[in-house]
Amino acid sequence: MSSTVFPSAANGSPASSSPIVDPFGRSVSYLRVSVTDRCDFRCVYCMAEDMTFLPKAEVLSLEELDRICSAFVGLGVSKLRLTGGEPLVRKGIMNLIRSLGRHLGSGALKELTLTTNGSQLERYAAELYEAGVRRINVSIDTLDPHKFEAITRWGKLDKVLAGLKAAREAGLAVKINCVALKGVNDDEFHRLVAWCGDEGFDLTFIEVMPMGDIGGEARLDQYLPLSLVRSRIAERWTLNEIDYTTGGPARYVEVRETGRRIGFITPLTHNFCESCNRVRLTCTGTLYMCLGQEDAADLRSPVRMSDDDALLVDRIREAISRKPKGHDFVIDRRGKSAPVPRHMSVTGG
């Protein structure tokens, strides 16, 4: 595969004497990185329509993102997922992806992947595969073009479907992420299962996560427990329990009629923290040890203070020593505010 290595990262990852382990004995092997807070959609459960985005000076450069990711790889992280906002709208993003691909070649990294809304896939799918990406998650909450536009505010379903076609032709495995929204897409679950079976995609349902001010939408109005989603699906489809994981929080079953998998991510009805191996880096260099907690560490300062990674590695280790046992997600029954004030687009989906 072709590669682009940033000058500051030419020597690869820093050596590590030991992997990073949190206070509860969980090895941190999975880093999710928001490469931008910007997006070309405005999904109703993720963003307000009139968003104010971060000043450029606060956002990590691609070289800085590469350096921090490489430090984590040196500390035992074997899976990197790039997120946003929408990662593929970041200018020069393929340079970063190609550069990080060198860790796949060395064997230090097992998987480099990304979560995308699919709007740019038609353009980038082949390049992603060439850079070493083999699997992607694409967010689609409805197969109805009018509902799709209403949910995303700015998105066009036909453009995303064209991107999925390009991804499949490029050789990328696709998993569809669907946020379960009461009164919005709860009449489409069987259609989504059938469509994913026909297309050869796995499917994951996700509960609404109470993050950020989304402009008056009530979380309680959107919230649909996945226990109910699963029971509805089981009315028509045979769901077999399987021992399968991608390293993330989803619990999977296999649909006997299609041979495809369905995952359920349940941050509210079932806390998935006991085996958490993940941390999240924002595009500003803030490391969140837990999606549902506000405690964080600044990694931008050590990167900009020194060309040596010793301070950065020390900061990472200290942060992981504060990783909590679990998150504090809860739907506010009064609908007043989100328990976590930052938007999902800032933290990384």
300 is in an annotated binding site: no
191 is in an annotated binding site: no
45 is in an annotated binding site: yes
Q: Which residues contact 211 (CB under 8 A, 6 or more apart)?
A: 338, 340, 341, 342, 343, 344, 347
Handedness of CA 106, 108, 204, 136 (dihedral sign): negative
279 is in an annotated binding site: yes
Q: Please report, for residues 21, 92, 111, 262, 334, the alpha-carbon distance to residue 176 in angstroms, rounded to integers and kept in the order given.
A: 31, 25, 18, 9, 32
32 is in an annotated binding site: yes
39 is in an annotated binding site: yes
178 is in an annotated binding site: no
Cα gap 24→325, rounded to integer Å: 7
| Bridge partner residues of 80 (DSSP) | 31, 112
196 is in an annotated binding site: no
209 is in an annotated binding site: yes
What is the residue type of 314? D
Could you tell me which residues are annotated as the binding site for [4Fe-4S] cluster?
39, 43, 46, 273, 276, 290
Which residues are known binding-site members for GTP?
Answer: 32, 81, 115, 175, 278-280
Known binding positions for S-adenosyl-L-methionine: 45, 85, 139, 209
Q: Which residues are annotated as a binding site?
A: 32, 39, 43, 45-46, 81, 85, 115, 139, 175, 209, 273, 276, 278-280, 290
